């Protein structure tokens, strides 16, 4: 059965509309997929950006922790090195003080202190003030200085008894006079208090009082009032006393320095 032209036309348009509807659906589907794809891309980009930011933050936190750990390790190492320095200084100073009464050379202790002195300018200055003669020969003990004072003072008195004419005969006269003085009693009587007077023998007697009471610096000051032959006779003793005084003062300063450095160490 043949369709009339109008029906055929309607049928044709209907088919076209159907095909157009299918294309629209396909286009809509394509657009929907494109939107989903764009959203997926954006979601992935956001995810990776967030991950990157999180990783960067974690890396930064890790870097800070490493730096903090490094600082702690360095501080601990410096503290340990300083504690070791203080310990070695203390041992060397104790050895130096211990040898003051033995008349042993101080060389080993001073060598040790000089090696440590580079780390502390105060120690370097104090160690540098100790005479080389003290390092090589040591210092006399208080007892030795007292004995040597008496011997030197007797020689000073003998020289005071030598006639002014001089010569060998005069020296013999001085020796005889000293022995006669000794026969009558102590050349320098021991007193429990200071004697007054400005004559050389009285000065020597006051010096002995100071030496017996451990006041070396006062004895040296007293002997400085002598002159002439008496002063010359005491010069060797004065040198030995001054050597001990210098080392004693250096020991006190070094001990105080060790204590000062120790006080700056943080408590563990």
Instruction: Give me the number of domains the chain comprises.
Output: 1
Q: State how far the alpha carbon of 196 is from the alpha carbons of 108, 154, 200, 203, in Å.
A: 45, 19, 11, 9
The pLDDT assigned to 250 comes to 85
- Tell me the pLDDT tens digit for each residue of 107-121: 677 777 777 777 778
Q: Residue 202: which residues within 8 A CB-CB, separation 6 or more?
A: 195, 196
176 assigned to some structural domain = yes
155 assigned to some structural domain = yes
- The three-state DSSP-derived secondary structure of the chain is CCCCHHHHHHHHHHHHHHHHHHHHHHHHHHHHHHHHHHHHHHHHHHHHHHHHHHHHHHHHHHHHHHHHHHHHHHHHHHHHHHHHHHHHHHHHHHHHHHHHHCCCCCHHHHHHHHHHHCCCHHHHHHHHCCCHHHHHHCCCCHHHHHHHHHHHHHHHHHHHCCCCCCCHHHHHHHHHHHHHHHHHCCCCCCCCCCCCCCCHHHHHHHHHHHHHCCCHHHHHHHHCCCCHHHHHHHHHHHHHHHHHHHHHHHHHHHHHHHHHHHHCCCCC
Sign of the dihedral defined by the CA atoms of residues 170, 176, 180, 186, in that order: positive
31 assigned to some structural domain = no
**Cβ distance 173 to 125 under 8 Å?**
no
Q: What is the mean pLDDT of the chain?
A: 76
**Cβ distance 138 to 131 under 8 Å?**
no
240 assigned to some structural domain = yes
- Tell me the pLDDT tens digit for each residue of 47-65: 556 665 665 676 567 567 6
List the Cα angle 240/242/244 in 5-degree steps: 70
Token reading at 82: 């300083």
215 assigned to some structural domain = yes
179 assigned to some structural domain = yes
Token reading at 4: 């009339």
In our burial notation (b when 16+ CB lie closer than 10 A, e otherwise), range 240-261 reads bbbbbeebeebbebbbebbeeb
**pLDDT surpasses 80 at 24:** no
93 assigned to some structural domain = no
**Cβ distance 205 to 191 under 8 Å?**
yes
pTM of the entire predicted model: 0.61
**Domain residues for 162?**
140-245
Residue 137 vs residue 103, higher pLDDT: 137
- Tell me the pLDDT tens digit for each residue of 235-259: 999 999 998 898 888 888 888 887 8
103 assigned to some structural domain = no
- Tell me the pLDDT tens digit for each residue of 202-239: 999 999 999 999 999 999 999 999 989 999 999 999 99
**Cβ distance 256 to 129 under 8 Å?**
no
The pLDDT assigned to 81 comes to 66
**Cβ distance 130 to 247 under 8 Å?**
yes
Q: Residue 114: which residues within 8 A CB-CB, separation 6 or more?
A: 124, 127
Residue 46: how many other CB atoms lie within 10 Å: 10
- Tell me the pLDDT tens digit for each residue of 75-90: 556 667 667 767 777 7
């Amino acid at each position: 059965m043949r369709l009339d032209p109008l029906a055929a036309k309607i049928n044709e348009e209907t088919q076209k509309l159907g095909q157009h509807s299918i294309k629209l659906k396909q286009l809509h589907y394509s657009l929907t997929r494109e939107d989903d794809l764009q959203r997926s891309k954006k979601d992935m980009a956001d995810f990776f950006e967030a991950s990157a930011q999180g990783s960067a933050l974690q890396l930064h936190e890790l870097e800070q922790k490493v730096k903090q750990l490094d600082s702690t390790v360095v501080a601990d190492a410096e503290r340990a090195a300083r504690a070791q320095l203080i310990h070695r200084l203390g041992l060397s100073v104790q050895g130096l003080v211990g040898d003051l009464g033995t008349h042993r050379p101080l060389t080993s202790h001073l060598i040790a202190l000089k090696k440590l002195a580079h780390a502390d300018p105060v120690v370097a200055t104090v160690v540098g003030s100790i005479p080389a003669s003290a390092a090589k020969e040591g210092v006399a003990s208080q007892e030795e200085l007292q004995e040597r004072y008496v011997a030197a003072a007797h020689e000073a008195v003998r020289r005071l008894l030598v006639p002014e004419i001089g010569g060998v005969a005069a020296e013999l006269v001085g020796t005889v006079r000293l022995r006669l003085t000794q026969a009558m009693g102590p050349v320098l009587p021991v007193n429990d208090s200071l004697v007054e007077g400005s004559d050389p023998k009285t000065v020597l007697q006051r010096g002995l009082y100071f030496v017996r009471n451990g006041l070396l610096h006062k004895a040296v000051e007293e002997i400085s009032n002598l002159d002439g032959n008496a002063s010359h006779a005491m010069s060797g003793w004065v040198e030995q006393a001054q050597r001990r005084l210098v080392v004693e003062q250096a020991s006190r300063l070094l001990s105080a320095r060790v204590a000062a450095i120790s006080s700056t160490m943080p408590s563990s």
